[in-house]
Structure 1
Amino acid sequence: MELLFSEENKIIPIVLSAIFLLLFMVVSLVLFFRFARKKIIEKELEKSAIKLASQKKVLQATIETQERERKRIAQDLHDAISAKLNVVSLHINMLLDGSLTTNEQQESLSNVLGVTTNVLESSRQIAHDLLPPILEKFGLVEALKELLAEFGATKKVVAQHQINYLTTLTKAEELHVFRIVQELLNNSVRHGKATLMRLELQDAAGEMKLTYKDNGKGFLVKQAFNEGGLGLKNIKSRVAILNGEIQIKSSLNQGATFTIIIKHNSYE
């Protein structure tokens, strides 16, 4: 009997130790999972904050682009039209005054005709900048081909293309795509000093993929965005307006590649 009690006295501390160890492990696991969950939540919040900040930057860039375009249009209207219409108004007032000789009247009318012709040409040019006529009449494919041909016609660059596009975007969306390509070409020539540019446009079920490459001097992508280059901001803001995604690959002296994916519902 004494031996039995002695064995029980040895077992009890072992059992208690096992229970305490089990409790310790359970508490440790609970604390670990709580800590891990807290870290996951913090990471998600951090990602959300970064995403929100990025969205704010894109929105700000979009607003800046729109405001800059409005200012440019207002300046063009003022410089190219308002000033000339003031000249027309002065000539008409002189004609209505009745103090001009016949020769002076003829000269004044000739001046009015010349100024109004210039105003009409300026108006057409401003309208062309807002919405290229070829885009309005013949669609995105022909507008892009003409744009690339204009760059290639300079003989300083080679502008290649492979375009497979069906009419899956609205006119407003096509204008954004046109402006994106226009900005890419301008950046390649002006900043990248490229001599070869290639545009590939593929329209598959549910999405349009635009790939643009050049052999320019390239750039550091993160640095370019941090320095606030307007060209890249404009491109990114237009892609955001289209609810698209953009990927940029570039390094110094290695050219640049832009891949833009735009989802659409044309095949749904």
Structure 2
Amino acid sequence: MKNNIFLVFNLDEMNLAIGSVFVAFLLMSFIVISFFYFSRKKIIQKEIEKKNLEINHQKELLRSVILTQEEERKRIAQDLHDDISSKLNVVSLNTHLLNTPNLSEEELLGITNNITDLTQKALESSRRIAHDLLPPVLEKFGLHAGIEELVAEFNTSKSVHVIYKNELRFNINEIDKQLHIFRILQELLNNSIRHGKASEISIEFKTINGKETCVYIDNGIGFDLKSEDCKKGLGMKNIESRINFLNGTFSIESNKNKGVQINFTF
């Protein structure tokens, strides 16, 4: 009888132990599953946040391109209206004056000289506007010749000395891509002089780690890379959007009063 009772107690204890192990196993399984679930959820959430940041960044770049294009259109429209249209209006008025009866030889000469002078100025203005849209030397002779002309124009100011070196061979058929590189350099040069107060600038094209790279350096006042104003500036956004179009990358090194170095690939 005692043995039977002892056996029943042992079975109960065994069942209780098995039940405890089973409950512990379920609890452990729940903890492990919960851990993986919440970890996976956290990873997915971070991925979503990263994608949202990338999308917002792309939106900002697109917005900067649109704003830049609109500003360019406004400037061209203003140049056409204020410069060329005004001159042509005066030419038209002078042309009507030629129909005035009894004009003296001196008056006739004065009117025709005025028409010739204004027409010449209107032609010069139209050439300047066309040059701003697409420099003829860039279209005819390629990026290398376009940069040489750009550098020569800045060097004539005597306020800055620009050095240009090129070890690459540009494809003259890729005019769209080359125009983006040309505009990037225009923006960088203007920023160095207008904001950076630079007196010396170096532009060098070469191959670095198998990639075609432009190394741009100035000796200006530099800027704080942590500054939000610098990061959000329309000029820098415009440069970044053009580099993205070229499927390139860029890096900036700068400190206060230590100039700027910008490397970009294309």
1:222 Cα offset (Å): 4.4
1:227 Cα offset (Å): 7.3
1:231 Cα offset (Å): 2.2
Determine the structure 2 residue equivalent to 1:122.
Answer: 125
**In 2 relative to 1, CA 115–149 (structure 1 residues): closer, same or farther, beyond 3 Å?**
closer
After TM superposition, list the pairs within 5 Å mapping 1:36-115 onto structure 2. Answer: 36-115=39-118
Deviates more, 1:226-235 or 1:121-130: 226-235
Equivalent residue pairs, number:
262
Q: Deviations over 1:99-134 (max 9, x none)?
A: 422321121111111111111111111122122222
**In 2 relative to 1, CA 122–246 (structure 1 residues): closer, same or farther, beyond 3 Å?**
same
CA distance in 1, matches of 2:158, 2:114: 39
After TM superposition, list the pairs within 5 Å mapping 1:214-229 onto structure 2. Answer: 214-225=218-229, 228-229=232-233
Q: TM-score w.r.t. structure 1 length? A: 0.87
Of 159, 167, 179, which residue of structure 1 is paired with 2:183? 179
The answer to whether the 8 A contact 2:203-2:214 is kept is yes
Of 143, 147, 151, which residue of structure 2 is paired with 1:148? 151
* Aligned partner letter, 1:201: F
Q: Deviations over 1:66-103 (max 9, x none)?
A: 01111111111112211110111011111123342232
Of 221, 238, 241, which residue of structure 2 is paired with 1:237? 241
* Aligned partner letter, 1:139: G
Determine the structure 1 residue equivalent to 2:162.
Answer: 159
* Alignment RMSD: 2.4
Q: TM-score w.r.t. structure 2 length? A: 0.88
The SS at the match of 2:166 is strand
1:210 Cα offset (Å): 2.0
CA distance in 2, matches of 1:12, 1:254: 78
What are the ranges of 5 or more consecutive residues in structure 1 without an aligned counterpart?
A: 263-268
Percentage identity across paired residues of the two chains: 44
The SS at the match of 1:35 is helix
The answer to whether the 8 A contact 1:156-1:195 is kept is yes
Determine the structure 2 residue equivalent to 1:251.
Answer: 255
What are the ranges of 5 or more consecutive residues in structure 2 without an aligned counterpart?
A: none
The answer to whether the 8 A contact 1:218-1:252 is kept is yes
Matched, 1:194 2:184: no
**In 2 relative to 1, CA 249–118 (structure 1 residues): closer, same or farther, beyond 3 Å?**
same
Query: Which structure has the larger Rg?
Result: 2
The answer to whether the 8 A contact 1:166-1:203 is kept is no
CA distance in 1, matches of 2:250, 2:119: 45
Deviates more, 1:203-212 or 1:66-75: 203-212
**In 2 relative to 1, CA 152–226 (structure 1 residues): closer, same or farther, beyond 3 Å?**
closer
The SS at the match of 1:98 is coil
CA distance in 2, matches of 1:252, 1:204: 27
CA distance in 1, matches of 2:212, 2:149: 20
The answer to whether the 8 A contact 1:211-1:259 is kept is yes
**In 2 relative to 1, CA 125–57 (structure 1 residues): closer, same or farther, beyond 3 Å?**
same
* Aligned partner letter, 1:20: V
* Aligned partner letter, 2:196: G
* Aligned partner letter, 1:59: L
CA distance in 2, matches of 1:227, 1:198: 23
Deviates more, 1:147-156 or 1:124-133: 147-156
CA distance in 2, matches of 1:51, 1:11: 59
